[in-house]
């Protein structure tokens, strides 16, 4: 029943087994007992209610405008992490995750504009939807990464494996996030990954999308380095890999 399906939509269903190799959750972490400050609690409530005005007010009242990175670290990223956890536990819907990402992206863009040196001092990161034309997953991940302070190059959607590989190699992308909605598109990542790795073995390929959530072995089949089954997982992976890959 094809297309819109899942986007089905289960783009973001966590699969803990598949994350063992590269989990961004630290050892000993206990998500259920995580301390939440009053500001963080209010921010999460504002985001899950899709209340832009309230979210903006919390940031203005809580953060020093001279320290945008501190605001990211202490308020916005933890709030998005909490939103991600609530989604993973089935307490929030994908639509709320999307809107949370949009709201945070807009807030961060005002505090830390694109091209700001504090945002761009990391290896080049790209994102694209291969073969498919449904862009919601890419949009959510890009929003969360930007809200996390990263500068992302969006290579669009419906891009073929060969064109994607050529672009990644040409632009010397160091971390490439590839989204796929349907199984044939996911399988085409194998061709792109092989071409990229041949020319740039250090480029990290992170995949995501519905087929990967329904088949926990698929990311290995296509030659990816990791899969991010939620936007927050993708952010955690990018944070990890930006510390490992060379610029």
Partner 1 sequence: MSEYMTPMQRTLKTMEFCEPDRVPLFLLLTMHGAKELGLSIKNYFSEPEYVAEGQVRLQKKFGSDCYFGFTYAALEAEAWGSDVIFIDNGPPNAGRPVIREPEDIEKIQVPEISECPCLQNTLSIVERLNKAADGNIPVISAAVSPFSLPVMQMGFEGYLDLIYSGSPLFDKLMKKNEQFCISWANALFDAGATAVAYFDPLASPDIIDSELFRRTGLLTAKRVISKVKGPMAMHLASGRALPAIGDISETGCTGVAVSAFDDLAAVKEACYGKITVMGNLNGVEMRRWTDDVAEAKVKEAISAAGHGGGFILTDNHGEIPYQVPDSVLYAIGKAVRKWGQYPLD
**Which listed residue (83, 141, 182, 189) binds partner 1 by CB under 8 A?**
182
Quick check: 133 and 127 in contact, CB under 8 A? no
Q: How far is CA 20 from the centre of its chain?
A: 18
Binding of residue 85 to partner 1 (CB under 8 A): no
Dump strand ranges (E) for the chain: 125-129, 152-154, 175-179, 204-208, 226-227
Dump strand ranges (E) for 91-199: 125-129, 152-154, 175-179
Beta carbons within 10 angstroms of residue 55's beta carbon? 24
Nearer to partner 1 by Cβ, of 187 and 245: the residue is 187
Question: Which stretches within 177-217 are classed as H helix?
Answer: 183-199, 210-214
- Point out which residues pair with 226 in neighbouring strands: 206
Give the CA dihedral 38, 43, 44, 48, nearest 10 degrees. Answer: 140
Binding of residue 2 to partner 1 (CB under 8 A): yes
Look up residue 213 and give its two tokens. Answer: 């959530």
Binding of residue 69 to partner 1 (CB under 8 A): no
Nearer to partner 1 by Cβ, of 151 and 215: the residue is 215
**Which listed residue (119, 122, 124, 139) binds partner 1 by CB under 8 A?**
139
Give how many residues touch partner 1 by CB under 8 A.
39
Residue that is written with structure tokens 């209610």 in the block: 49
Binding of residue 96 to partner 1 (CB under 8 A): yes
Binding of residue 184 to partner 1 (CB under 8 A): yes
Nearer to partner 1 by Cβ, of 11 and 241: the residue is 11
Cα–Cα–Cα angle for 183, 187, 189, rounded to 5 degrees: 125
- Segment contacting partner 1 by CB under 8 A, of 35-43, 69-77, 95-103, 165-173: 95-103
Q: How far is CA 226 from the centre of its chain?
A: 12
**Which listed residue (40, 55, 80, 99) binds partner 1 by CB under 8 A?**
99
Quick note: the x/- pattern for partner 1 over 187-216, rule CB under 8 A, is: x----------------------xx--xx-
Smallest distance, partner 1 to C-beta of residue 164, A = 16
Binding of residue 217 to partner 1 (CB under 8 A): yes
Question: Closest Cα partner for 231 from 130, 70, 21, 85?
Answer: 85
Smallest distance, partner 1 to C-beta of residue 179, A = 12
Residues that bind partner 1 (CB under 8 A): 1-10, 13, 50, 90, 92-96, 98-99, 131-136, 139, 158, 182-185, 187, 210-211, 214-215, 217-218
């Amino acid at each position: 029943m094809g297309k819109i399906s899942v986007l089905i939509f289960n783009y973001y269903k966590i699969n803990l087994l598949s994350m063992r190799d590269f989990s961004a959750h630290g050892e000993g972490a206990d998500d259920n007992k995580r301390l939440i400050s009053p500001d963080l609690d209010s921010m999460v409530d504002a985001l899950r209610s899709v209340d832009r005005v309230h979210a903006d007010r919390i940031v203005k009242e809580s953060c020093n405008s001279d320290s945008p990175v501190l605001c990211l670290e202490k308020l916005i990223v933890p709030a998005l992490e909490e939103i991600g956890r609530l989604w993973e536990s089935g307490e929030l819907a994908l639509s709320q995750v999307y809107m949370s990402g949009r709201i945070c992206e807009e807030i961060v863009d005002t505090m830390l504009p694109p091209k700001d040196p504090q945002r761009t001092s990391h290896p080049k990161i790209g994102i694209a939807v291969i073969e498919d034309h449904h862009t919601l997953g890419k949009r959510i991940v890009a929003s969360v990464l930007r809200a996390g302070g990263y500068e992302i190059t969006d290579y669009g959607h419906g891009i073929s494996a060969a064109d994607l590989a050529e672009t990644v190699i040409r632009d010397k992308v160091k971390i490439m996030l590839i989204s796929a909605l349907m199984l044939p598109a996911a399988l085409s990542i194998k061709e792109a990954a092989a071409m990229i790795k041949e020319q740039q073995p250090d480029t990290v390929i992170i995949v995501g999308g519905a087929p990967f959530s329904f088949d926990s072995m698929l990311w290995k089949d296509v030659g990816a380095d990791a899969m991010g089954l939620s936007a927050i997982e993708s952010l955690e992976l990018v944070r990890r890999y930006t510390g490992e890959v060379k610029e």
